């Protein structure tokens, strides 16, 4: 086009710009949609509807959707609908403590039991168990579970509460019961942080946690009982680590937990080799070796407050909270002197889904493959295919071999104690997606694992 304007002796730049503008105008006119015919006015003949073909059936005119129909409900709307269905006592507490309970939070520090039927389920499972031991309540809140424990005959309750409004409730109960209820202004879910700080000289919070606890022999009845809601996986990982060294709560004997846990955490604590790789890990294996776990009850998570604000577009509070009894075994079948070696053995061998039994064991004791094959283990069988009890049997068989006292396994254990192994550190990141809502333990020593 610009060549045409060159014929009339226009400058090259001017002719090119005029041609480009003309081309754009032409393309704009081509893209203009034709005008739609006017709709028939009232009283005129109606437009012909689609005539059904033979066998097509009658034409069904679908009704128009109302405005807002089919729209997903917001978190606030779901919460309001649920609160309206709660018992009157629960609604009263939600109104009284609106700022603390009646909101949706992305990562609540504490979950509170404010439904009397849920508290009754905890107390009901105390039947036949000792009531004269200290009961450490995780987040007593307005005191619904605390009152039920007092009515059941418990006379030593330590309430771990950090919210000022609920601390006032605990103090009132303490005055009414002549000191049977005592307030400790800490969050026991951060026990690993308190332990890490004590290793760096600040043991004030650890001393508050263990204040008033009495020692019992390991084989005796539980020395204390934790009740409430334990929702953080880091807390259970810390228990599994410290039970090996008999530190903190375990220095007084065997503590028992009667707590509600999220369904996801219950899956980790009971995981087996048939479950997904992200769930069945060293943490689960050690837990099943050293702890007894019993499922007692299940309650929809929406009955615990405050609600968790979902990170994804799913219906809020769709899972359950599981009431469990969780306590260390009086006799796990392993000598106490070998617990640290067992801990390293499991973490090292089960850190990867592809680590093979015979290949790994022959690194420590060359030529031991035929012994393991005689026990029924395949040449290429990985550790992750074994149940926790089978892993324990492999370790106990390992300790009976004459090469065990002088093999390179002990050097690997010592190296891990002094400096840690890179592969164990790398394994920490493989489960990061499972616990994005949880804070890592502060100054947690020795190295945490999952």
Q: Return the domain boundaries, the chain.
A: 75-328, 337-419
Asked if residue 384 lies in contact with residue 278, where contact means CB atoms within 8 angstroms, the answer is no
Lateral strand order in the sheet of 224-229? 181-184, 157-160, 135-138, 224-229, 255-262, 320-328, 291-300
Question: What fold, for 75-328?
Answer: Rossmann fold (3.40.50)
pLDDT of the residue at 239: 95
pLDDT tens sequence across 285-341: 999 999 999 999 999 988 898 877 655 544 444 589 999 999 999 999 999 999 999
CA distances from 83 to 94, 96, 235, 304 (A): 8, 13, 30, 11
Encoding tokens for residue 361? Answer: 């064991």
What is this structure's pTM?
Answer: 0.75
CA neighbor of 321 nearest in space, from 89, 83, 121, 160? 121
CA neighbor of 389 nearest in space, from 297, 286, 312? 286
Q: How far apart are CA 138 and CA 59, in angstroms?
A: 63
DSSP element (H, E) containing 372: helix 369-374
Instruction: Give the range among 102-106, 185-189, 395-399, 442-446 with minimum mean pLDDT.
Output: 442-446
Residue 307's beta-bridge partner residues?
104
Between 314 and 384, the more confident residue is 384
* Res 448 pLDDT > 50: no
Encoding tokens for residue 214? Answer: 């009495």
Whether the link from the prior residue into 446 is cis, omega within 30° of 0, is yes
Going by their DSSP bridges, the two strands 291-300 and 320-328 should be labelled as antiparallel
Is 113 annotated for ligand binding? yes
* Res 9 pLDDT > 70: no
Q: How far apart are CA 8 and CA 290, in angstroms?
A: 97
Is 201 annotated for ligand binding? no
Encoding tokens for residue 221? Answer: 């009845």
The phi and psi torsions of 192 (rounded to 5 degrees) equal: -65, -35
The phi and psi torsions of 141 (rounded to 5 degrees) equal: 60, -130
Confidence of residue 67 (pLDDT cuts 50, 70, 90): low
* Res 441 pLDDT > 80: no
Residue 260's beta-bridge partner residues?
229, 323
Asked if residue 305 lies in contact with residue 94, where contact means CB atoms within 8 angstroms, the answer is yes
DSSP element (H, E) containing 270: none
Asked if residue 10 lies in contact with residue 18, where contact means CB atoms within 8 angstroms, the answer is yes
Instruction: Give the range among 201-215, 220-234, 300-314, 407-421 with minimum mean pLDDT.
Output: 300-314
* Res 435 pLDDT > 50: no
Confidence of residue 98 (pLDDT cuts 50, 70, 90): confident
CA neighbor of 224 nearest in space, from 199, 192, 198, 188? 188
Asked if residue 259 lies in contact with residue 113, where contact means CB atoms within 8 angstroms, the answer is no
pLDDT of the residue at 279: 80
Helix axes 339-349 and 282-290, enclosed angle (nearest 10): 150
Asked if residue 229 lies in contact with residue 259, where contact means CB atoms within 8 angstroms, the answer is yes
Contacts 24+ apart (CB under 8 A), 393-396: 394/357, 394/361, 395/334, 395/341, 395/342, 395/345, 395/346, 396/333, 396/334
Residue 33's beta-bridge partner residues?
none
pLDDT of the residue at 33: 54
* Res 13 pLDDT > 80: no
Radius of gyration of the chain (CA): 33
Is the Cα dihedral 294, 110, 139, 248 positive or negative? positive
Q: Is 331 helix (H, G, I), strand (E, B) or coil?
A: coil
Distance linking the first and last C-alpha atoms of the chain: 72
* Res 52 pLDDT > 80: no
Q: Which residue has the tokens 């039991």?
A: 113
Asked if residue 115 lies in contact with residue 87, where contact means CB atoms within 8 angstroms, the answer is yes
């Amino acid at each position: 086009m610009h060549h045409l304007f060159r014929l009339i002796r226009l400058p090259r730049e001017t002719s090119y710009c005029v041609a480009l503008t003309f081309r754009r105008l032409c393309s704009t006119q081509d893209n203009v949609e034709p005008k739609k015919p006017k709709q028939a006015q009232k009283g005129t003949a109606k437009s012909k509807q689609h005539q059904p073909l033979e066998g097509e059936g009658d034409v069904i005119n679908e009704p128009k959707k109302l405005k807002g129909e089919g729209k997903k409900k917001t978190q606030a709307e779901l919460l309001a609908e649920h609160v309206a269905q709660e018992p009157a006592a629960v609604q009263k507490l939600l109104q009284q403590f609106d700022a603390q309970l009646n909101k949706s939070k992305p990562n609540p520090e504490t979950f509170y039991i404010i439904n009397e039927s849920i508290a009754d389920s905890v107390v009901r499972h105390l039947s036949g168990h000792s009531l004269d031991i200290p009961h450490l309540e995780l987040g007593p809140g307005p005191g619904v579970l605390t009152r039920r424990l007092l009515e059941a005959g418990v006379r030593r309750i330590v309430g771990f509460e950090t919210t000022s409004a609920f601390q006032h409730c605990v103090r009132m109960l303490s005055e009414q019961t002549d000191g049977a209820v005592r307030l400790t202004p800490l969050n026991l879910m951060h026990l690993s942080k308190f332990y890490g700080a004590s290793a760096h000289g600040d043991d004030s919070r650890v001393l508050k946690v263990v204040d008033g606890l009495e020692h019992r022999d390991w084989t005796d009845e539980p020395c204390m009982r934790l009740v409430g809601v334990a929702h953080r996986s880091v807390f259970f990982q810390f228990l599994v680590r410290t039970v090996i060294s008999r530190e903190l709560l375990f220095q007084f004997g065997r503590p028992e937990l009667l707590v509600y846990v999220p369904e996801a955490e219950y899956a980790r604590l009971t995981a087996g080799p048939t479950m997904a790789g992200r769930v069945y890990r060293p943490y689960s294996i050690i837990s099943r070796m050293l702890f007894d776990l019993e499922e007692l009850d299940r309650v929809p998570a929406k009955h615990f407050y405050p609600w968790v604000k979902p990170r994804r577009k799913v219906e809020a509070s769709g899972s359950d909270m599981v009431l469990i009894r969780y306590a260390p075994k009086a006799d796990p079948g392993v000598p106490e002197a070998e617990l640290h070696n067992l801990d390293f053995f499991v973490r090292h061998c089960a850190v990867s889904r592809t680590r093979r039994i015979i290949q790994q064991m022959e690194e420590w004791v060359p030529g031991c493959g035929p012994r393991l094959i005689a026990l029924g283990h395949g040449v290429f069988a990985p550790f992750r295919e074994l149940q926790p009890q089978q892993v324990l049997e492999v370790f106990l068989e390992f300790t009976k071999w004459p090469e065990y006292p002088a093999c390179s396994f002990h050097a690997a254990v010592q190296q891990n104690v002094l400096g840690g192994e890179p592969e164990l550190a790398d394994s920490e990141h493989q489960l990061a997606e499972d616990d994005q809502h949880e804070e890592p333990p502060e100054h947690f020593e020795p190295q945490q694992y999952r």
